[in-house]
Chains A and B, each alone.
Chain A
Amino acid sequence: MEHQQTPISPEMTFPQQHHSDEEFKRRVRKTTILLSIITVIELGIGLTIYTIHKGPDPSHMLVLMFKGMVCILTLAKAYYIVSVFMHLGDEIRNMIMSVVVPLMLFIWFIAAFLWDGNSYKNLRNSYDKHFEEKTIQKKSGGGH
């Protein structure tokens, strides 16, 4: 394909170059397939969690592990959408950093607030036995 040789906007010093038609199509196809496969795996894990929950003695650790796996897969999906579909991967490094570095705040944000919620639960369970009795998951019929 032919590139425009003049910058299309005064802010842009260099004409934006894009991948050739062939390479572009290959990349989009690859990313689409990848996103679909990841989604299917996520759904598979979701159904696995469902069957574990339905089982006679759900293992809490196993469920937590599967949930962690889904979170990692979701981050992978997010990476492909942002980097390929939104073309952030093709921008100048400084520009990428100006978007990605502020997002690092999420690491603290998520950790702090989940920790806080969990701590509130623990405090309530130890000081408010009525709350604990009323809301804790009872073992289902066949169990203990």
Chain B
Amino acid sequence: MSSHETAQGVKWWNGGRSPFNLEYGKLMMWYFLMSDAFTFGAFLISYGSIRFSQNFWADPNVVFNALPGAGHKNLPLAFVSVMTFILIISSVTMVLGVHAGHKGDRKGVIKWLLWTILGGIAFLSCQAWEWHHLITGEHAVLADGKIELIGQTMGGNPWGRLVEGTAVTDALKNTSVQTLASMVHEHHAAMNMADLLKMPQDKLIGMIDLAETHIREKGPIAFGGYFFGITGFHGFHVFSGVIINIVMLIMTWKGVFDRRGHYLMIEKAGLYWHFVDLVWVFVFLCFYLI
């Protein structure tokens, strides 16, 4: 195959040649990616360490079950699989772009870089929607003897243990009309919020379908920080990858690499982009699958 055959019988360390037969910048990109892998690894392992120290942790299939446009349907894993495939496909288009670069095919590089950038932007948009949905989507939580509606934020998570029976009925009596009205509104979207707010408390309680409303305790606070921190750090990598690819696109388009006689720069950008995909594989594993 490639360099293995070239390398046969060559004394690589006798001086006069690069022992790794690799361009300096590309080698340094590899070492940067290795150190970046440790950064991500440290984050994910810290998350694992905290998770192992807890008796209860949120079930990812309960947390991540929404799909844009599907309303309140329970669709675990659906949206994140879309995001995963977007990244895999954008990784493939990047490989094709790098290959076009080997051949000095400027049009090919431009075409595949454009697809890769598009994939990156699509992924970031998905992530923005997911974050927005988690932060603003409110869930009924039993805290301090009453029901509260909270979203998934850095300060709290609504995915604790399920509460049932008298604990719920007692808590409902202590809950504010505002919260009760919102809970009713969730399942009876046709009813006007202003009308609901005028109703007496016990009538609102009667309208809440306890079989359908899952009321939970608050879950471990650490979940929010780790989820937003790590997916955010990954999203930042995707974002910088998109910027790098846009710079590569402009340079290719202006013919910089043609004048240089090689497209090694695209290879380095490609390594970074594949690394982003690689990290996502592990983020996907740690947050969504297990």
Residues of A within 8 A of B (CB): 1, 4, 8-9, 11-14, 16-19, 24, 28, 32, 35-36, 39, 42-43, 45-47, 49-50, 53, 67, 70-71, 74, 77-78, 81-82, 85-86, 88, 90-92, 94-95, 98-99, 102-103, 105-106, 109-110, 113-114, 116-118, 120-121, 124-125, 131-132, 135-138, 140-141
Contacts and interface: CB of A to CB of B under 8 A. Distances in A.
B281 A117 contact: no
Interface string B19-36: 111111001001100100
Interface in B19-57: 19-24, 27, 30-31, 34, 37-38, 41-42, 45-46, 48-56
Interface of B: 1-7, 12, 17-24, 27, 30-31, 34, 37-38, 41-42, 45-46, 48-56, 59-61, 76-77, 81, 84-85, 88-89, 91-92, 94-96, 99, 102-103, 161-162, 164-165, 261-262, 264, 270-271, 274-275, 277-278, 281-282, 284-285, 288-290
9 contacts: A12-B23, A14-B3, A32-B89, A49-B289, A81-B277, A85-B95, A94-B20, A95-B20, A136-B56
Given A70-B289, A114-B49, A121-B54, A78 B6 contact: no
Contact of A90 (B2, B20, B55): B2
A43 B285 CA distance: 10
A81 B271 contact: no
B2 A18 contact: yes
B52 A11 contact: no
Contact of B3 (A9, A39, A50, A91): A91
Given A70-B290, A124-B53, 5 more contacts: A17-B2, A47-B77, A102-B34, A117-B49, A141-B165
Contacts of A94: 12, 19-20
The DSSP consensus for interface residues of chain B is helix
Given A1-B103, A78-B281, A95-B20, A121 B53 contact: yes
Nearest to B104: A4
